[in-house]
Structure 1
Amino acid sequence: MKKIYFNGKIITLNDKELMADAVLIEEGKIIKLGLKDDLLKLAEGEVELIDLQGKTMLPGFIDSHSHILAVAQTLMIVNLSEVNSKEEFIETLKASLKNNPPKDGEWLIGFGYDNTKYEDQEHPTKFDLDKVSTEVPIFVSHASGHISTTNSKALEAFGYVGEDYEVPEGGVVRTVEGTNEPNGVLEENASLAPEKRKVIPTPSVETLLNCIKKAQEIYASYGLTTAQDASIDENFNGLLNLAAQKNELIMDIVGHAVQHVTLKLLKNEGTPKRKYYNHYKLLGGKTWLDGSPQGKTAWLTKPYYEAPEGENKDYCGYPTQEDDVVTEYFRSLIENNIQVNVHCNGDAASDQFIRCYKKALEMTNNNMDLRPVMVHAQTVREDQLDEMKEIGIIPTFFLDHIWFWGDYHYESVLGPERACRISPAKSALKRNMNFTLHQDSPVKMPNQILALHNAVNRETQSGRILGEDQRLTVMEALKALTINAAYQYFEEDEKGSIEEGKLADFVILDKNPLEVKASEIKNIKVLETIKEGNTIYKAK
């Protein structure tokens, strides 16, 4: 059926025609923009009239970096993101173990703890988790996703026992002071390497499919019509393909395959743009070159403002891979016309990305527009932005860092000077670079309105402004969440703005972000999310 949306503030994000009076859609696509009466004459036949009642309509938001399957998994595990002390951490896990005991062979899994909230700012160790259980393996991931803490039973399963054990390259097993005995805290590949990820048992397919459904509902509630999973392995790829076959995907999901299976899952199609199958497509590859700033595992060129305990004052974090491995991965993708997404938080990691990608381009002599993506780009420098523009690298910024961890970055991680340049979106804009915004869910929920708020305000929870000169206008930030993100996915001709011929992907808000006070943007509510003409979320 044809539909006409009217009587609202329709922001098209099309520079040629920023506002529209009404929009006519049919079969999931935008047919025409114009005056309501003119569209009625054009439509003919049966037409559903949808009165926006003065509310604001925008193109559907597009998630430029997250892990929707990890969000689905968090629905099955213990959320520790709101815990404010080690004591509360332990009690929360104890309560979960008592109320929802794992079945035989299963682990107690938690996520989202943030040690910076604790009085001593220390990570919980196996000695803390052993108070919960020494019989059930326990694994809890840090809010950053790059550090985890485990009990003795889980360490045993990982193979980290005694003082003589092997750690995958790019990983660190923290130890009891003065010994090589693991203390339970694992960094990077110590738990993220493929052979280590396989150690943790997975839930049933039915349970996972149900949680994928719930995760999509969460994304839709934030106005998203396209989501991402940047950690696709063979199991995840099979799961999303199964969900697609069963017609259980209500939004588009873009996958990026992890490094060791990228070429196994992706074939050379002669073009980096790929087609969806029932709302799922595998678009590119993914690797990471360092860790997280708040975990102090990001790889910097200059030392941390305050070094972690046990490290010297020259500590700069560390890489996860050697140059030759990174270059070879890039070369293989470029030869096969495959986009790459690269996790870089520290500027030393950004240097490695730029250096190795340049070398890989020289080796392949491929001039195709592959739109490589630098994920996070937290501490990227001005000179690096110049090089990125020359190569065509798209930065996707995690500006929520300023709200959630900005004070910690200012006081401990980076210090005042570097903290005020974190996620330099305005610098990218001044170079006419395409850039996007993300929240790296489940690190933080995919709250696009909060991303908009933080890009415009750059204010920490204490009220400190980090980089006033890096603030974006509301319109600039909206484009980063829509049309720019569509470009990142090679979909700028299909999504990201309200234009004739594009998909009828919309979000309806209770207030116009172009009109409210900057300090009030975060209070805007998503009322409805529409994917190809069908409502996939409606506020109660």
Structure 2
Amino acid sequence: MTGTIFAGGAILSMDADDTRPEAIGILADRIVSVGALSHVRNFLPNAAFCDLAGRVLIPAFIDSHGHFPDSAIVSLLRVDLSGRAGCRSLADVRDRLARKAAQTPSGDWVMGAALDECQLSERRMPTRDELDAVSTDHPIWVIHASGHCGVANSLALARQGIAEDSADPDGGRFLRNSAGRLTGRIEDLSAMGEMGDTHFLLDDTSFQRCFAAAREEYLAQGVTLAQNSWAAAPLLHLFRGMAERGDPGIDLILLPVAEIEPEFSRTGSGSNWPQGPIALGPRKLLTDGSFLMHTAFLTMPYLDTGDTGLAYMDRSLLFYEVEKLHRLGFQIHCHCNGDAASDMFLDAVEEAQSNDPRADHRHTIIHGQVMRRDQIVRCAGLGVTVSFFPAHIWYWGDQHHDEILGHARAPHISPTGWAEAEGVRFTIHNDASVTPTRPLELIHTTVSRRTQSGRVLGPEQRLSPLAALRAHTIDAAWQVFYEEERGSLELGKLADLVILDANPLSCPEAIASIKVSETWRRGARVYQRNATKVGEPA
């Protein structure tokens, strides 16, 4: 018996009693001893000693909603048009796409990604004609940071069979100018078609490359359990290939799209999915779009347009899908940005529960950006949980306040305070690659609720640092039925640990500046920011 003992700094266990043990010991891939240092040493007398040296040990972070490995697909295979990458004007957009086109054989696709018009000086997306000016020899497709909108040039429209007289599909639209001509802008998944799919233009080799890069990014941020929350059959095929090769170096939960059930699980590859770190999780539904596109489905109109957004599927279809998945025994994660979308989903869950009661289904609203307090109360009664998206407060909170929702509704986006008060267990997420996987920055925003202008958006919705940490660790494990295996530093759980260079509970105003020093996955150190001494105790 050897193992490793961690002591010498604060240990935040995230267990039910918020225990702060002096030491923990791990052996192989499990936590085997927790308590006083003398007790842990007696249990593991020959263990190596990891001196925290005043640093802080917590459970590894869990991604409660994201799209692994999208961030690497953007950085390695697409043209990164994000503000973080320095794209600040339409001229920057054109220049970057033109450079890519010059390196790309005629006729091959040029893909731009992560474009956020709020970060551009012109405050708008490019047009079809502007993309045609970049190249008419390449199909060009630029997808918005939200993943719910994009712009195509003329060749890309033609490749996808989108003509001037093409009718808008249900739950999507092709935008046109005042003369009725296509502008190239396409909104929501039904209209974007395969251009909106993660697997668009991916093959096994490129997917493996992106997987490896995203894994290193996530581990460096202290995330050992990632998620792909919209996995259609072609993407599931790529993930299965990774699963069959052995341990991929990070744990994953995949959320198959609802439409492939029950065939996927009864007779398809889901019926004999490999056991291991890449696992199937809840099934995914999508009810509406994005606030930035004004396609989130609201009960009250947007501030600047009078429009109430767009339902991605009609009420009867949503009820059918929820009833089907509920009856089959699956947990459901449902994208609901607007409160009208949340109303529909809660109605559907209530009917499904009435017809086929389940004691602990943990069906989950994803995003819940403008959930009303009465909806939070209703969640408590129905056993529905929520994964909120507080990163919006930092990235687009000022736009919500000034342009999208207004001063009355914007302070209550991602209403974590209401959920905490009403006893609804919830999580927080970044939805990578919409916003990058940065747990500590997300926790900081959830605690401070500060926008980029310095405005505090809804101080009554703030969480304590401890509550925000729990929302990204043990609560995230609980939300997907993993609470017995991970999410806290308790006996018998997986040894997935993170060492931070400062204590988030002691410096709530500086959480975003805290760094991950080390990440341990299944008992092995998989990331180290700075060299630390692991050896015999002094």
TM-score category of the 2 structures, normalised to the smaller one: over 0.9
Identity of counterpart residues, as a percentage? Answer: 32
Given residue 186 of structure 2, which amino acid in structure 1 is its aligned partner?
L
Given residue 136 of structure 2, which amino acid in structure 1 is its aligned partner?
T
Q: Is the 8 A contact 2:147 2:196 kept in 1?
A: no
TM superposition shift of 1:164? 1.7
For residues 376-395 of structure 1, the C-alpha deviation after alignment (integer angstroms, 9 at most, x for no partner) is 00000011111111111111
Q: Secondary structure of 2:333's match?
A: strand
Aligned twin of 2:535: none
Aligned twin of 1:37: 38
For residues 171-224 of structure 1, the C-alpha deviation after alignment (integer angstroms, 9 at most, x for no partner) is 100012221x21110000344446x65798523311211210111111111110
TM superposition shift of 1:106? 3.5
Given residue 67 of structure 2, which amino acid in structure 1 is its aligned partner?
H
For residues 417-470 of structure 1, the C-alpha deviation after alignment (integer angstroms, 9 at most, x for no partner) is 100111100100011111000010000111000111011000001010100111
TM superposition shift of 1:476? 0.7
TM superposition shift of 1:410? 0.4
- With over 3 angstroms needed to count, the CA separation of the structure-2 counterparts of 1:17 and 1:470, relative to structure 1, is closer
Matched length: 521
Q: 2:295 aligns with which of 291, 294, 297?
A: 297
Match status 1:306 vs 2:298: no
Match status 1:287 vs 2:312: no
Aligned twin of 2:152: 150
Given residue 158 of structure 1, which amino acid in structure 2 is its aligned partner?
Q
Q: Secondary structure of 1:89's match?
A: helix
**TM-score normalised over the length of structure 1:** 0.93
Q: Is the 8 A contact 1:105 1:201 kept in 2?
A: no
For residues 122-162 of structure 1, the C-alpha deviation after alignment (integer angstroms, 9 at most, x for no partner) is 2211111111111111111111110111111111111112x
Aligned twin of 1:57: 57
Aligned twin of 1:169: 170
**Which stretch shifts more, 7-16 or 337-346?**
7-16
Aligned twin of 1:138: 140
Aligned twin of 1:310: none
TM superposition shift of 1:16? 2.7
TM superposition shift of 1:318? 1.3
Aligned twin of 1:533: 523
Q: Is the 8 A contact 1:106 1:201 kept in 2?
A: no
Aligned twin of 2:189: 189
Cα distance between partner residues in 2 of 1:230 and 1:199: 11
Aligned twin of 1:317: 309
Cα distance between partner residues in 2 of 1:18 and 1:141: 45
Q: Secondary structure of 1:514's match?
A: coil
**Which stretch shifts more, 116-125 or 6-15?**
116-125
Aligned twin of 2:94: 90
**TM-score normalised over the length of structure 2:** 0.93
- With over 3 angstroms needed to count, the CA separation of the structure-2 counterparts of 1:469 and 1:276, relative to structure 1, is farther
Q: 1:510 aligns with which of 480, 501, 510?
A: 501
Cα distance between partner residues in 2 of 1:199 and 1:426: 33
Aligned twin of 1:22: 23
- For residues 76-475 of structure 1, the aligned pairs below 5 Å read 76-82=77-83, 83-98=87-102, 101-103=103-105, 106-161=108-163, 163-179=164-180, 181-193=181-193, 202-267=201-266, 277-307=275-305, 314-363=306-355, 365-475=356-466
Q: Is the 8 A contact 1:376 1:397 kept in 2?
A: yes
Cα distance between partner residues in 2 of 1:119 and 1:62: 35
Q: Is the 8 A contact 2:254 2:279 kept in 1?
A: yes
Cα distance between partner residues in 1 of 2:417 and 2:512: 20
Given residue 416 of structure 1, which amino acid in structure 2 is its aligned partner?
H
Aligned twin of 2:533: none
Q: Is the 8 A contact 2:199 2:234 kept in 1?
A: no
Cα distance between partner residues in 2 of 1:404 and 1:198: 24
Cα distance between partner residues in 2 of 1:438 and 1:14: 21
**Which stretch shifts more, 288-297 or 507-516?**
288-297
TM superposition shift of 1:346? 0.8
For residues 472-493 of structure 1, the C-alpha deviation after alignment (integer angstroms, 9 at most, x for no partner) is 0001101100111001110111
Q: Is the 8 A contact 2:186 2:192 kept in 1?
A: no
TM superposition shift of 1:35? 2.3
Given residue 352 of structure 2, which amino acid in structure 1 is its aligned partner?
A
Match status 1:484 vs 2:485: no
- With over 3 angstroms needed to count, the CA separation of the structure-2 counterparts of 1:407 and 1:201, relative to structure 1, is closer
Cα distance between partner residues in 1 of 2:157 and 2:367: 30
For residues 264-308 of structure 1, the C-alpha deviation after alignment (integer angstroms, 9 at most, x for no partner) is 33359xxxxx9982211111211111111122111111111111x
Given residue 304 of structure 1, which amino acid in structure 2 is its aligned partner?
Y
Structure 2 residue runs without a partner (length 5+): 531-538
Give the alignment's Cα RMSD to 1 decimal.
1.9
For residues 100-124 of structure 1, the C-alpha deviation after alignment (integer angstroms, 9 at most, x for no partner) is x235664111111111233442221
**Which stretch shifts more, 274-283 or 122-131?**
274-283
- With over 3 angstroms needed to count, the CA separation of the structure-2 counterparts of 1:198 and 1:251, relative to structure 1, is closer
Given residue 453 of structure 2, which amino acid in structure 1 is its aligned partner?
S
Given residue 452 of structure 1, which amino acid in structure 2 is its aligned partner?
I
Structure 1 residue runs without a partner (length 5+): 269-273, 308-313
Cα distance between partner residues in 2 of 1:104 and 1:252: 39
Aligned twin of 1:271: none
Cα distance between partner residues in 2 of 1:496 and 1:371: 17
Q: Secondary structure of 1:31's match?
A: strand
Q: Secondary structure of 1:484's match?
A: helix
Cα distance between partner residues in 2 of 1:415 and 1:73: 35
For residues 327-364 of structure 1, the C-alpha deviation after alignment (integer angstroms, 9 at most, x for no partner) is 1111110111001111111111111111122222233x
Cα distance between partner residues in 2 of 1:14 and 1:199: 36
TM superposition shift of 1:245? 1.7
**Which stretch shifts more, 66-75 or 169-178?**
66-75
Given residue 66 of structure 1, which amino acid in structure 2 is its aligned partner?
G
TM superposition shift of 1:168? 2.6
Cα distance between partner residues in 1 of 2:500 and 2:266: 40
- With over 3 angstroms needed to count, the CA separation of the structure-2 counterparts of 1:492 and 1:407, relative to structure 1, is same
Cα distance between partner residues in 2 of 1:527 and 1:37: 25
- With over 3 angstroms needed to count, the CA separation of the structure-2 counterparts of 1:276 and 1:60, relative to structure 1, is farther
TM superposition shift of 1:539? 1.4
Cα distance between partner residues in 1 of 2:409 and 2:366: 18
Q: 2:514 aligns with which of 511, 524, 532?
A: 524
**Which stretch shifts more, 524-533 or 234-243?**
234-243
